[in-house]
Structure 1
Amino acid sequence: MKPSGDSTRFDEIVAIIPAAGKGSRYGMPKAEAKINGRTFLELVTETLHTAGIDRIITVTGIDTPDMLASIRVGVTRAKEEASAGIPIGGYLIFPVDHPLVQPETVISLCNCFRSHPETVIIPCYIGALSSLGVAKSVCHNMRHNRKSGHPIIIPASLDLDRQVTRGLSQIIHASRFPIVHIETHDANVIRNLNTPGDLGS
């Protein structure tokens, strides 16, 4: 899938923000939780726009039981909205409980997907060796044991309807698509905020 329009925008990628659930551990829906007066959902959405992604689907509501179900809902909505528009090359899955991921990290993921459109792109935290957020972003096949995180990008052609017991990860590893990891020093890719106490960690 070739990019269309402005090369600084990633029009071929649709972001899906799983933000469903009661947020019982947090004490409120995580989409409504705030950092410095701004909701998690606002922070994630701003990060996406800053990174060059304008096609965004947010899945909210407590009736969606898990992340895979939320992703499936988001994909269905994205396909409906894209039926007469720009084709979809991939989906960037950005859980709302990772609101501190840096735009530069998202850009690195999207650039890698643009170069490798039939792969699954996963950020891989390799340690805070600098204060620059993403000091190094390298596309490479996974060879080492690193700490994987979110957001991730999956090809639009990945079959999400497969019946599984362990969610999206099982679908990815059972698919024909290679997995490419992006090395990053952005620790926020592995920092999911499940409770208010996690903000201080």
Structure 2
Amino acid sequence: MVAAGEPVIIILAAGKGERFLASGGTTHKLDALLHGKAVLQHVLDAVKASGLPWHLVRPEGGTRGMGESIAMGVRATPDSPGWLILPGDLPFIQPASLLRVAQALKAHPVVVPHYQQKQGHPVGFQRTFFDALTSLGGDVGAKAIVRAAREKREALELTLEDVGVVNDVDVVRDLGAEQLFRR
């Protein structure tokens, strides 16, 4: 059971997945099968296993980009003490990684997970970033917010031993990363 006041995981699932389709995909990448279930379902299973509250951003017709999706998800959860921004195309993410980011967020305004020096997701933001996150639009994500937090030394660079924080599905061949899948 998760204690009250935990950050909400915002699952971003509103993109068009154009690179996946251009690479030979016959369905949206989030609906593509990996080990017999949809990529997005793997993400949802990990999120549910973490026990953290969550909100799925997948409106009919999509959005104009990641920034708009983030703003939508944060606006839909205005009472949250913070948010973990998780793209829906990370089927290898482990529940323990979500919990580590959430725990670190209690002491740091921004938490950026890394795997072997590569920046990953979910990026965590404390409540103080509500206005900045809800002001995002179009396809511009939260990179500028993270950059500003780094400049103010408000961002924790969190090293995790989970390839799932960086191993996403962008093209059909990414579904062949089965040897990395450890659930």
TM range (shorter): 0.7 to 0.9
1: CA distance between counterparts of 2:172 and 2:46? 21
1:174–1:30 CA distance, 2 compared to 1 (3 A)? same
2: CA distance between counterparts of 1:90 and 1:32? 28
1: CA distance between counterparts of 2:34 and 2:168? 14
Instruction: Write out aligned runs for 1:21-170 (5 A).
Output: 21-27=15-21, 28-79=27-78, 87-114=79-106, 116=107, 118-126=108-116, 146-158=117-129, 159-160=132-133, 161=135, 166-170=140-144
SS of the equivalent of 1:26 reads: helix
Q: Quick one: which amino acid aligns to residue 113 of structure 2? A: P
* Greater relative contact order, per chain length (Cα 8 Å cut-off, separation 6+): 2
* Match of residue 20 from structure 1: 14
Deviation at 1:33, TM superposition (A): 1.9
Structure 2 unpaired stretches of 5+: 22-26, 178-183
2: CA distance between counterparts of 1:38 and 1:32? 8
Supply the RMSD in Å over aligned alpha carbons: 2.4
2: CA distance between counterparts of 1:68 and 1:152? 14
Bigger share in helix: 2
2:172 corresponds to 1:173: no
Deviation at 1:171, TM superposition (A): 2.3
1: CA distance between counterparts of 2:75 and 2:34? 31
Q: Identity, % of aligned pairs?
A: 28
Q: Quick one: which amino acid aligns to residue 169 of structure 2? A: L
Indicate if the aligned counterparts of 1:91 and 1:156 stay in contact, CA closer than 8 A. yes
Structure 1 length as normaliser, TM-score? 0.73
Q: Quick one: which amino acid aligns to residue 74 of structure 1? A: G
For residues 65-123 of structure 1, what are the alpha-carbon distances to aligned partners after superposition, in whole Å with 9 as ceiling and x for unaligned? 211110011111122xxxxxxx4111111101111111111111111112x1x511111
* Match of residue 82 from structure 1: none
SS of the equivalent of 1:94 reads: strand
Structure 2 length as normaliser, TM-score? 0.80
Structure 1 unpaired stretches of 5+: 1-5, 80-86, 127-145
SS of the equivalent of 2:158 reads: strand
2: CA distance between counterparts of 1:71 and 1:198? 24
The number of residue pairs the alignment matches comes to 167
